[in-house]
A and B are shown apart, each in its own frame.
Chain A
Amino acid sequence: MKPILEAKNIVKKYPLKKPNPFVKRRYFTALDNVSVSLGKKEILSVVGESGSGKTTLAKVILGLEKPQSGSIFIGGENLNLLGGPKQKNKRRKIQAVFQDPYSSLDPRMKIEDIILEPLQITGESKEKQRKILYSLLDKMSLAKSHLGKYPHEFSGGQRQRIAIARALAVNPEIIIADEPVSSLDISIQAQILNLLLELREEFNLSYIFISHDMAVVYHISDFVAVMNNGEIVESAPSKDLFENPLHPYTKILLESVPKVGEKPRNIEIKANADNASEFCKFAAQCPKYSANSCRKEILLKDIGNGHYVKCARTEGKNND
């Protein structure tokens, strides 16, 4: 099946402050040659710790940040090659839901205006816009009486639903959800996760779901991409990744998740600066480091079944 969204070889660097005016400027690489693809009605989760580049990837795909190189394809068309209005039309197919519903909704706008705002660019008639508004409200189990209220009058879960309604208003195909449930209570979290899954069926949506909660990721995703230091170190169908993690970082990540009814494991990540390698950014913290293999160029390996891993210590075909 043809992917509806593809990001190819994205590189994003941020300039660092110069310690003095005479040295060359250095850069922090937030995304290093990252590629992802998303099929119709698929949910791709991106996991990794803070600072691993998850959110930067979301921003690049949304067009909020301009990458140094790499391209984004929507429905097979390269966004870089499309002109202004055409590109805008394509971009409308991607919408975002952010982590904190307390700060992603304008506190001085009524709910009605928040959801109607994106509809105004669609060129639909006023009546049609109203119709869409009411049907969205209904989907999100919000009442018409809520329309005149302001965001502060709602609970966290309701606000997140308003944010989702706003994202759905322009009829997108892809939703990028950046930690949409991490600031919510567990019972509310379950409501929002169920809602996201229902909406996928109803509107044929695809999601890129960014999270650091592995249990949530396990519950919701079809594919998982694990990021570390700006690279995707492993990507696989969800079941595969959880049953057979191959990259040492993925293993550590999965072992760190507290599980009901299990004794805690002793996990310590020791950084050893001597092991740093220019080819593997995880080498310094890797428990499986070996000088022979980790200091050579490492290619993304194809394990089969859509499982890819970037580690010198894993057996598999090279893939380029």
Chain B
Amino acid sequence: MEPLLKIKNLSLYIEKRGKKTKILRNISYNLYPSQTLAVVGESGSGKTLSALSIMNLLPKNAQTEGEILYKGKNLLSFSQEKMRQLRGNKISMVFQEPMTSLNPVLTIGRQISETITTHKKISRKKAIEKSANLLKRVGLSDAERRLNDYPHNFSGGMRQRVMIAISMACLPEIIIADEPTTALDVTVQAQILNLFSKLRKENEMSLILITHNMAIVSQYADFVVVFYGGMIMEKGPCEKIFASPLHPYTKALLDSLPGIGRRKIKLTTIEGMPPNFEEETGGCPFYPRCKFAFEKCAKNLPPEFEVETDRRVRCWLLTAEKCRDVRKSFDNYL
């Protein structure tokens, strides 16, 4: 099957006071139709920036290299005008903070119907009707009346649902959801995630889910991409990553998760700090915090090893005899 979205060797630089810093390094992944792809990693690992580059919403001082192919066309070369036709129509995004991403001085109805009238040839009245339907689908009761309310009349969970309604307004092919449920209560979180998977099945929509909640990933994702220090450390089908994480970082991420039903006396922590982008060492960015690191890791950046089809891991532990001992201890640890 042809991928709907193909990110090829994407690198991103941010220029500040004449100094160029490389934030994303050679990111590649594919998104297939009606797939849920989860992007996980710590804050500052480049998850959000990689999503923003798909939407072409990067800050002015950012420069990109590489390609983002949507149906074979490179989004990075699109003009603003062309991009505007795509945003909200074919690709839409749900931002992290529902509190700040809605316009406080416009009614909810106006904000939802705006998306529809911009992209479809449809009358204002029809668009308002459609908006009411959308609100019903995201589970807001009394939709017609609520269309005339302003964002401040809504609670956090309701605002997030409004954001989701806006993102689905034109039945896009791809929705990028950046931590859509971090600010929400668990009960609301479950409802919103179920809504996403329902919509995905009904409309054959693809979802890029950016999150750091591994439990959500295991339940909803088909494919997982693990970010660290602006690089993809491991990527593969969801079940395989959870059954046998191959990168020490993925493993540590799964271990530090408190879980119900398996109480541990002490949670495993990842010691040390997330990497600083300004100093490039040439080695693996996870090297200073890795329990299994050896000399090679400090100097040479590991390439992406293809372990199976569809599964790639950036770690020297996966190579040859030279590091068999380390490899052994890693296996025991697993």
Contacts and interface: CB of A to CB of B under 8 A. Distances in A.
Interface of A: 49-51, 155-156, 185-187, 189-191, 193-194, 197, 212-216, 218-220, 242, 252-269, 271
Contacts of B188: 49
B187 A267 contact: yes
5 contacts: A186-B214, A187-B253, A194-B266, A242-B261, A260-B259
B15 to A, nearest CB: 22
B187 A190 contact: no
A193 B257 CA distance: 11
A183 to B, nearest CB: 9
B191 interface: yes
Given A265-B190, A268-B139, 5 more contacts: A190-B258, A215-B215, A215-B260, A216-B258, A259-B219
B267 A190 contact: yes
A186 B217 CA distance: 14
Contacts of A242: 260-261
Interface string B200-242: 0000000000001111101110000000000000000000001
A260 B212 contact: no
Given A185-B42, A215-B260, A259-B215, A253 B187 contact: yes
B196 to A, nearest CB: 10
A267 B190 contact: yes
Contacts of A252: 187
Interface string B247-289: 0000011101111110110111110011000000000000000
A212 B216 CA distance: 16
A187 B187 contact: no
Nearest to B270: A187
Most chain B beta carbons < 10 A, residue from A156, A187, A220: A187
A267 B191 contact: yes
Nearest to A47: B186
Given A215-B260, A216-B258, A268-B191, A257 B186 contact: yes
Contacts of B219: 258-260, 262-264
B208 to A, nearest CB: 18
Contacts of A191: 269
B189 interface: yes
Contacts of B254: 260
Nearest to A261: B218
A254 B187 CA distance: 9
A267 B187 CA distance: 8
A261 B200 CA distance: 21
B258 A49 contact: no
A269 B185 CA distance: 13
A187 B141 contact: no
A219 B258 contact: yes
B191 A269 contact: yes
B46 to A, nearest CB: 14
A190 B269 contact: yes
Contacts, number: 123
B268 A218 contact: no
Contacts of A219: 258-259, 263-264, 267
B258 A256 contact: no
Contacts of B187: 49, 252-253, 256, 267, 269
Contact of B242 (A214, A261, A269, A271): A261
Contacts of B273: 155
B193 interface: yes
Given A218-B258, A261-B242, A271 B141 contact: yes
A212 B242 contact: no
B197 interface: yes
B33 interface: no
Most chain A beta carbons < 10 A, residue from B189, B220, B252, B258: B258
Contact of B185 (A190, A212, A216, A264): A212
B259 to A, nearest CB: 6
A283 B215 CA distance: 30
A260 B215 contact: yes
A260 B186 contact: no
A269 B188 CA distance: 9
B189 A264 contact: no
A190 B212 CA distance: 13
A218 B260 contact: yes
B186 A186 contact: no
Nearest to B239: A261
B156 A50 contact: yes
A185 B273 CA distance: 12
Contacts of A215: 215, 257-260
A197 to B, nearest CB: 8
A256 B215 contact: no
B215 A258 contact: yes
B258 A258 contact: no
B43 interface: yes
Nearest to A141: B271
Nearest to B216: A258
A212 B257 CA distance: 15
A262 B239 CA distance: 11
A190 B263 contact: no
Nearest to A48: B185
B194 interface: yes
Closest 9 CB pairs of A and B: A190-B267, A219-B258, A49-B185, A258-B215, A190-B256, A256-B190, A187-B270, A256-B186, A260-B218
A120 to B, nearest CB: 32
B185 A189 contact: no
B270 to A, nearest CB: 4
A272 to B, nearest CB: 11
Most chain B beta carbons < 10 A, residue from A185, A253, A254: A185
B194 A264 contact: yes
Contacts of B242: 260-261
A194 B269 contact: yes
Given A214-B186, A257-B215, A264 B266 contact: no
